[in-house]
Structure 1
């Protein structure tokens, strides 16, 4: 399963282990404070095409949605709203992230949030053998097959980025 020198156990990692989903853990240094996705791709030596960021949005106070997009691209809020069947979406304020998901900025994973929110992965991931996403804490990423991520999160693949 996990290929790492240490046994790091986040909610996301525990769930992948429980579901017997194959993944590889990748660690990177967070001491420089650079947690954005492009920096993470550079620190892990991975292409920005396969490193995805997890974005949490809200339609209203009780309806949250999770989107995974390549780190070098931006979520198109109109396409995202269409994908989940709502009129309008806003980004979840950073101050609400931990309260709603259980995760912190730079370590938000679509796997293992406090609740199972509807999740959409950008369609570009369908063509990849592997993608890299947060493993649930800053400094830790996981590489896995997009189909396995979709399976464990109940996600769909749709075009949700600015073209």
Structure 2
């Protein structure tokens, strides 16, 4: 498997320390993030999933622990909007340049505002999709957030 993706190129150019880990991606799995965390031996909360959303009809990106659920109310508030919804998968793929199950916040085709779940900033290291199904990048959540010029805010329903 080739490890070069727009996401890994973004991190290298930004000089963000990271390492890659591969796993067997199972497309039929109903909880892809949990399956990925299990495959690489990480607690589900340490694997951050990238979820594309629309806030007041505008695209945005959220990065949240794999075992958590977004609160659309908190997402809307975090981006300064009134309403939020999940972006349809085909629209997310076109916007990011990545396939669902392999969407990364790094190196997306079109730059959109990004928020991380605030509690993820308490972790020393997290795994985030590197831009390809079956490929994760391990790195500091603080460095990831800074490189993306993102902010950390409460986004999850169970926070």
Partners of 1:146 and 1:124 in 2: CA distance: 10
Structure 2 SS opposite 1:49: helix
- Using the size of structure 1 for normalisation, the TM-score is 0.91
Instruction: Name the structure 2 match of 1:79.
Output: 74
Structure 2 SS opposite 1:141: strand
Partners of 2:132 and 2:47 in 1: CA distance: 15
- CA RMSD after TM alignment: 1.5
1:42 equivalent among 38, 41, 47: 38
Deviation at 1:156, TM superposition (A): 0.5
Contact 2:53–2:84 (8 Å) recurs in 1:
yes
Partners of 1:115 and 1:67 in 2: CA distance: 15
Contact 1:129–1:145 (8 Å) recurs in 2:
yes
Q: Which runs of 5+ in 1 are unaligned?
A: 1-5
Q: Give the length in aligned residue pairs.
A: 157
1:140 equivalent among 135, 144, 151: 135
1:155 equivalent among 139, 145, 150: 150
Contact 1:116–1:153 (8 Å) recurs in 2:
no
Contact 2:25–2:36 (8 Å) recurs in 1:
no
Structure 2 SS opposite 1:58: strand
Deviation at 1:98, TM superposition (A): 1.4
Instruction: Name the structure 1 match of 2:113.
Output: 118
Instruction: Name the structure 2 match of 1:3.
Output: none
Deviation at 1:59, TM superposition (A): 2.5
For residues 3-152 of structure 1, the aligned pairs below 5 Å read 8-31=3-26, 33-34=28-29, 36-61=32-57, 63-152=58-147
- Using the size of structure 2 for normalisation, the TM-score is 0.93
Contact 1:108–1:134 (8 Å) recurs in 2:
yes
Contact 2:46–2:123 (8 Å) recurs in 1:
yes
